[in-house]
């Protein structure tokens, strides 16, 4: 049994990984295990992993290497979970023989049994599942008491040539809408103010029982009393429709904020990436959004150094950066991922060129963000307070546009909406005081 055993989860990766860790924590808490604050205090160490980029895999391998001493001194059970577990499977056990289990994202429901048996035998469980598996999250397993992740779909059918997700998460699976509604209603009853809907391609959602599309999900969730803000991530541009933009604009609880991955501003590179849209089509969708919601905050993903990318291709990406003025970007150097189609292409952009382009991109984006943030100084923003800030005697929250706001308040306002007058800014956050 796991009763009384302590566990620690180290999470690498995106919001989906963070939400997966909440599911895993719930499974162990139901078995009587208790959370520990560090791996040094744990009987069970779980590492939830991301395989989207080479750098994240390297970070994992470094972390696993450091756990060897912990395994020897404390005899803790160590398990690798998530996308890297799915991708590398038995290879992980060969490289890190002190691992007790390797468990893919589709096998979390059997994790307690695997951990109970880990003393007797090592386990690799990475089998796919065609249908959705419902794994409820306990309140005490959630990282926030204010804002909650709610997964509505998993997997991807797009096979972008650089991406490993279809090989780690499988084909698209959709969660029944009634289960989504039930979870959000329960969150509202516990005082949550915000939900963020998650999925690798969230706007391709179709309710497996009724066929309801993503816009219907948004409208139904907006009817839940108590939930004030609704966000979603990640949307694929080819699936983002004018109807979705109109729904965002017309339904009051949907935040005027959208993450819409561009990846490249070059049509030639977009075609090689198998993105199934052009720069012109992407810009058309941006025009819809800005026309319907002039205050919308936009963020994106950009890859530099994809095979055969020229300086001209890169400049086309920079042109869109200037034209669109993203509030935030997540930018990366291209790295070949196992099984992806691009891994069979010649990785012919020199590493020093990738680094130089990434620095240029990030430096210009930093300037753009500072320009946008300066325009907010002196204005009042509605902010959802998430708790104390790490920056001194302040509170931290996020605006509707998902900007980080550190602010002064005479009262403990965590879990509440407050009006904050913005008094200063940097490129990555805003500063203010409750007005």
H/E stretch holding 231: strand 229-233
pLDDT for 144 equals 96
In-domain check, residue 282: no
The answer to whether residue 239 scores a pLDDT higher than 80 is: yes
Structural domain containing residue 390: 380-434
- Residue where the block lists tokens 């290879």: 91
In-domain check, residue 425: yes
* One domain, residues 306 and 356: yes
- CATH number of the domain bearing residue 346: 3.30.750.200
In-domain check, residue 108: yes
* One domain, residues 148 and 250: yes
What is the rounded average pLDDT of the residues 51-78?
83
* One domain, residues 160 and 240: yes
Question: What's the chain's average pLDDT?
Answer: 95
- State the pLDDT confidence band at 72, using cuts at 50, 70 and 90: low
* Domain count along the chain: 4
What is the rounded average pLDDT of the residues 382-406?
93
In-domain check, residue 261: no
* One domain, residues 292 and 349: yes
The answer to whether residue 75 scores a pLDDT higher than 90 is: no
* One domain, residues 417 and 363: no
* One domain, residues 227 and 250: yes
Whether 45 and 79 have beta carbons less than 8 Å apart is answered as yes
The answer to whether residue 297 scores a pLDDT higher than 90 is: yes
From 374, 392, 409, the end of a domain falls on 374
pLDDT for 393 equals 78
Write the burial class of residue 312 (CB in 10 Å: 0-12 exposed, 13-18 middle, 19+ buried): exposed
User: Which residues on neighbouring strands pair with residue 92, listed in sequence order?
Assistant: none
What is the rounded average pLDDT of the residues 256-268?
98
In-domain check, residue 135: no
Q: What is the pLDDT of residues 130-151, one digit of tens each?
A: 889 999 999 999 999 999 999 9
The answer to whether residue 71 scores a pLDDT higher than 80 is: no
* One domain, residues 40 and 117: yes
From 255, 277, 310, the end of a domain falls on 255
pTM: 0.95
Q: What is the pLDDT of residues 166-190, one digit of tens each?
A: 999 999 999 999 999 999 999 999 9
pLDDT for 52 equals 86
In-domain check, residue 103: yes
* One domain, residues 99 and 185: no
- State the pLDDT confidence band at 76, using cuts at 50, 70 and 90: confident
Whether 254 and 230 have beta carbons less than 8 Å apart is answered as yes
- CATH number of the domain bearing residue 249: 3.30.750.210
The answer to whether residue 343 scores a pLDDT higher than 90 is: yes
pLDDT for 54 equals 84
From 255, 280, 314, the end of a domain falls on 255
| 3-state secondary structure string across 119-182 | CCCCEEECCCCCCCCCCCCCHHHCCCCCEEEEECEECCCCCCCCCCHHHHCCCCEECCHHHHHH
* One domain, residues 24 and 118: yes
Q: Please state which of the ranges 329-333, 351-355, 392-396 shows the lowest mean pLDDT.
A: 392-396
**CA gap 301, 345 in Å, rounded:** 21
What is the rounded average pLDDT of the residues 72-91?
88
In-domain check, residue 272: no
**CA gap 43, 81 in Å, rounded:** 16
* One domain, residues 294 and 384: no
- Residue where the block lists tokens 């994992």: 60
pLDDT for 118 equals 77
In-domain check, residue 83: yes
Whether 43 and 8 have beta carbons less than 8 Å apart is answered as no
Q: What does each C-alpha distance from 427 to 52, 66, 154, 241, 403 come to in angstroms?
A: 26, 34, 33, 31, 10
* One domain, residues 368 and 412: no
- CATH number of the domain bearing residue 425: 2.40.50
For residue 300 the two structure tokens come to 């994106």
Question: What percent of the chain has a predicted confidence (pLDDT) above 90?
Answer: 86
**CA gap 237, 342 in Å, rounded:** 20
- CATH number of the domain bearing residue 55: 3.40.50.12160
| Secondary structure of residue 39 in the 3-state scheme | helix
pLDDT for 391 equals 77
pLDDT for 67 equals 83
DSSP 239-281: G--HHHHHHHHHSTTB-SEEE---B-S-HHHHHHTT----HHH
Of residues 196 and 13, the one with the higher pLDDT is 196
* One domain, residues 389 and 349: no
Question: What percent of the chain has a predicted confidence (pLDDT) above 70?
Answer: 98
Whether 256 and 248 have beta carbons less than 8 Å apart is answered as yes
Picking from 241, 268, 229, the residue whose alpha carbon sits closest to that of residue 386 is: 229
């Amino acid at each position: 049994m796991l009763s009384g055993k302590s566990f620690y989860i180290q999470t690498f990766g995106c919001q989906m990984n963070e939400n997966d860790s909440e599911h895993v924590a719930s499974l162990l808490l139901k078995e009587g295990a208790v959370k520990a604050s560090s791996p040094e205090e744990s009987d069970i160490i779980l590492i939830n992993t991301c395989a989207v980029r080479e750098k994240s895999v390297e970070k994992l391998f470094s972390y696993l290497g450091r756990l060897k001493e912990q395994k020897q001194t404390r005899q803790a059970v160590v398990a690798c979970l998530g996308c890297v577990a799915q991708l590398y499977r038995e290879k992980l056990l060969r490289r890190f023989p002190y691992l007790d289990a390797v468990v893919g994202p589709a096998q979390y429901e059997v994790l307690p049994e695997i951990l109970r048996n880990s003393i007797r035998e090592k386990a690799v469980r990475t089998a796919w599942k065609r249908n959705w598996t419902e794994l409820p999250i306990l309140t005490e397993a959630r990282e926030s008491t204010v804002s909650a992740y709610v997964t509505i779909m998993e997997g991807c059918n797009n096979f972008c040539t650089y991406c490993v997700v279809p090989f780690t998460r499988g084909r698209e699976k959709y969660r029944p809408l009634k289960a989504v509604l039930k979870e959000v209603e329960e969150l509202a009853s516990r005082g949550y103010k915000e939900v963020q809907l998650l999925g690798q391609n969230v706007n391709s959602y179709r309710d497996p029982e009724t066929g309801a599309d993503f816009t219907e999900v948004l409208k139904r969730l907006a009817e839940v009393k108590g939930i004030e803000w609704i966000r979603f991530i990640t949307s694929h541009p080819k699936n983002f429709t004018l109807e979705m933009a109109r729904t965002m604009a017309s339904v009051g609880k949907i935040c005027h904020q959208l993450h819409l991955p561009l990846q490249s501003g070059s049509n030639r590179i977009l075609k090689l990436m198998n993105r199934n849209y052009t720069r012109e089509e992407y810009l058309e969708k941006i025009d819809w959004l800005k026309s319907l919601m002039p205050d919308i905050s936009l963020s994106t993903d950009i890859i530099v150094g994809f095979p055969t990318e020229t300086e001209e291709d890169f400049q086309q990406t920079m042109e869109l950066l200037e034209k669109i003025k993203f509030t935030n970007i997540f930018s990366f150097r291209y790295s070949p991922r196992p099984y992806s189609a691009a891994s069979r292409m010649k990785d012919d952009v020199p590493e020093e060129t990738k680094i130089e382009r990434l620095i240029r991109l990030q430096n210009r984006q930093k300037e753009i963000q500072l320009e946008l943030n300066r325009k907010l100084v002196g204005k009042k923003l509605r902010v959802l307070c998430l708790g104390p800030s790490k920056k001194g005697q302040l509170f931290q929250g996020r605006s509707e546009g998902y900007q980080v706001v550190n602010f002064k308040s005479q009262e403990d306002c965590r879990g509440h909406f407050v009006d904050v007058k913005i008094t200063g800014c940097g490129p990555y956050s805003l500063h203010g005081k409750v007005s």
